Structure 1
Amino acid sequence: MLVELFAVMAPVLAGAGLGFFWVRLGYPYPIEFVTRLVFNIGTPALVLASLAGASIDAHTFGKTMLAAALVISLMGVASFGVARLLRRDWKVLIAPMMYPNTGNMGLPVVLYAFGSAGFVYGITVMVTVSLFQFTIGAMLSSRGNPLKTLVKTPTVYAILISMALMLTDTALPGWIANTVDLMSGFTVPLMLITLGVSLASIRVDNLRSGLGFSLVRIPLAAATAWLVAELLNLPALAQMILVLQMCMPVAVFNYLFAQRAQREPVYVASLVFCSTLLALFYLPALLAFMM
């Protein structure tokens, strides 16, 4: 299992490593331009390409989405206590607390562990996290009018269109599907390379703090997801997927939001880095317990 999990995580480590060594070798990297490109073009295309063709019934989608929304909200509330514990600004920690990497890491792990039956629930959790991240997350990271920022966030519209297509079992026209599939291809690599660029300037004290944050967040997320699933009486498979997805490492997008808002992006990068490395150890244990 560790070999298969490493195969999922190897591209993450390779992409970040490329960015790390790129700037260490003295080459320039336009972080602001890349961030704008990823947010305004790459991410909406990735959402449409990933979700528009997914097939899921409305009842399953709605109930699992509600559970995921409750977990995200409770983790947001818990971030105030964690911020006091770690002596950090809650505005820096609230996004990493709420938004795990349910997409490019969570979905492959779910598919490997639980097959197509579990993948449906994994997609639903990912949609919910993305919807929160690109509405509330975009507003919190805004340095201007948050409502104006929300209206001007293309990913919000991509999520809404994808949800409508999923629930009505409607496919994108071929020319649009091919276009968004092509344009989505640069998104994750650029996200990871940009993360590595920030990691090149990381400090040791942030590594210690990043490990401490992960050791607090992971069990808290697991317990919260399990409790919410119990209260909503989710099917056993949906409950396992919800717990697994909410225990994923901190999403790379949190770093991009921190970079855009200039809220300790190097520290947030350490949270992404440390939680991703720890996932090599705790995810196999969590999967072994579930399976």
Structure 2
Amino acid sequence: MLTALAGALTPILLLICLGFFLGKKTNYLENPSLGALVSNLGLPALLLHSVLSMQMQIFSMLKIIVATTIVLALVSLLSYGFLKLLKLPTRFYLPPLVNPNTGNLGIPVAYALFGAEGMAIAVVISSVVQISHFTLGVGFMSGAYHPKQILKNGPVIALVAGGVLLSLNVSLPAPLMNTMNMLSQITLPIMLMLLGNSISSLTIKESSKINRAMLLSLFRPLVGALCASFVVMWFPLSQLEGAVLIVLSTMPVAVISYMLATKFKGPVDEIALMILLSLPMSLCTVGLLWWLYI
């Protein structure tokens, strides 16, 4: 079992390391259009192709959306109380603790562990978390929220389109599905390399904040796993849906939290450190869950 887990996660770690190396030594991944290409074209294509290929029922999709929303709500409440206990401002610290990196890490991990079916579930979960990034994340860190931001989000649009097609029982032509499949196949490696590139550009200047960052980094995957496990116990999800939800809820702090903290003048160094520390903690937690339950 451990051999299977290592075999599944090793390509993910190698691609992240490759992105880190390319970020340090080259400018191959520096073009901002590459990230926009993945977010606005690759990820929506991946979502639509995955959902439509496995013929996910609209009821199943709605179940996953509701379950993910409940998990995020529970994590928000526990994180809010935890931050109040530590006397830390919720404005900048709550979004990183609530919103995991379900995009350029969670989806590849779900694909590696659970195959195409698991990836289809993961992209639905990730789309819900994307909405949380652009509501809770932007709203808290900026002090204001603009609903129009969601309407510009490619994965969210693809999620709505997929729901409409499923509800109408409409199948897309084979050439269009093949095109989306080709886009999907290049999306995951690029997402992982972009994650490595983002990590390579993080800057940490204040070492005095390491202990607090370590505590928050440990809290993020643990609270996500606990809340997801609780929801799975009481919510009518299939075994696969529950397993994917738990794994994605265990993901580390998202790089987008660093970007938002930079934009809105938050504790950039500390959030950067949280991203670096929560990544191995998250993968170790996933490995433990896989060994114990999956």
Report the TM range for the smaller structure's normalisation. Answer: 0.7 to 0.9
Residue equivalent to 1:289:
292
1:49·1:180 contact (CA, 8 Å) conserved in 2? yes
1:195·1:255 contact (CA, 8 Å) conserved in 2? no
Residue equivalent to 2:156:
156
For residues 53-96 of structure 1, the C-alpha deviation after alignment (integer angstroms, 9 at most, x for no partner) is 34222333323322221111221233323333455442333333
The answer to whether structure 1 residue 247 and structure 2 residue 250 are counterparts is yes
Residue equivalent to 2:198:
195
Residue equivalent to 1:125:
125
2:29·2:194 contact (CA, 8 Å) conserved in 1? no
Residue equivalent to 1:73:
73
For residues 183-231 of structure 1, the C-alpha deviation after alignment (integer angstroms, 9 at most, x for no partner) is 56355045314323323x2354565444311322233223222323334
Residue equivalent to 1:230:
233
Q: CA RMSD in A?
A: 3.9
- Once the two structures are overlaid, the 10-residue window that deviates more, 3-12 or 215-224, is 3-12
Amino acid in structure 2 at the alignment position of 1:59: F
Question: 1:209–1:25: structure 2 CA closer, same or farther, 3 Å change rule?
Answer: farther
Amino acid in structure 1 at the alignment position of 2:80: F
Amino acid in structure 1 at the alignment position of 2:129: V
Count of equivalent residues: 290
Q: Once the 2 structures are TM-superposed, how far is the Cα of residue 50 of structure 1 from its aligned partner?
A: 4.1
Amino acid in structure 2 at the alignment position of 1:223: L
Q: Which runs of 5+ in 2 are unaligned?
A: none
1:38·1:190 contact (CA, 8 Å) conserved in 2? no
TM-score of the pair, normalised by structure 2? 0.74
1:207·1:270 contact (CA, 8 Å) conserved in 2? yes
1:202·1:267 contact (CA, 8 Å) conserved in 2? yes
Give me the whole-angstrom Cα distance separating, in 1, the residues matched to 2:179 and 2:143.
32
Partner SS, residue 146 of structure 1: coil
1:20·1:197 contact (CA, 8 Å) conserved in 2? yes
1:142·1:149 contact (CA, 8 Å) conserved in 2? no
Question: 1:265–1:225: structure 2 CA closer, same or farther, 3 Å change rule?
Answer: same
Alignment of 1:211-230 (within 5 A): 211-230=214-233
Q: Once the 2 structures are TM-superposed, how far is the Cα of residue 11 of structure 1 from its aligned partner?
A: 4.5
Partner SS, residue 94 of structure 1: helix
Give me the whole-angstrom Cα distance separating, in 2, the residues matched to 1:119 and 1:44.
13
Partner SS, residue 61 of structure 1: helix
Residue equivalent to 2:271:
268
For residues 14-36 of structure 1, the C-alpha deviation after alignment (integer angstroms, 9 at most, x for no partner) is 44444544565586975766555
Give me the whole-angstrom Cα distance separating, in 2, the residues matched to 1:261 and 1:7.
40
Q: Once the 2 structures are TM-superposed, how far is the Cα of residue 115 of structure 1 from its aligned partner?
A: 6.3
Alignment of 1:18-37 (within 5 A): 18-22=18-22, 24-25=24-25, 30=30, 36-37=36-37
The answer to whether structure 1 residue 55 and structure 2 residue 58 are counterparts is no
Amino acid in structure 2 at the alignment position of 1:202: I
Give me the whole-angstrom Cα distance separating, in 2, the residues matched to 1:172 and 1:142.
40
TM-score of the pair, normalised by structure 1? 0.74
Q: Once the 2 structures are TM-superposed, how far is the Cα of residue 182 of structure 1 from its aligned partner?
A: 5.1
Residue equivalent to 2:170:
170
For residues 84-113 of structure 1, the C-alpha deviation after alignment (integer angstroms, 9 at most, x for no partner) is 345544233333322223455445555665
Q: Once the 2 structures are TM-superposed, how far is the Cα of residue 170 of structure 1 from its aligned partner?
A: 3.4
The answer to whether structure 1 residue 278 and structure 2 residue 291 are counterparts is no
Give me the whole-angstrom Cα distance separating, in 2, the residues matched to 1:28 and 1:266.
25
Q: Once the 2 structures are TM-superposed, how far is the Cα of residue 139 of structure 1 from its aligned partner?
A: 5.1
Q: Which runs of 5+ in 1 are unaligned?
A: none
Identity %: 27
For residues 126-175 of structure 1, the C-alpha deviation after alignment (integer angstroms, 9 at most, x for no partner) is 44334434555455566876223333333432221133234444344455
Question: 1:3–1:179: structure 2 CA closer, same or farther, 3 Å change rule?
Answer: same
Residue equivalent to 1:84:
84
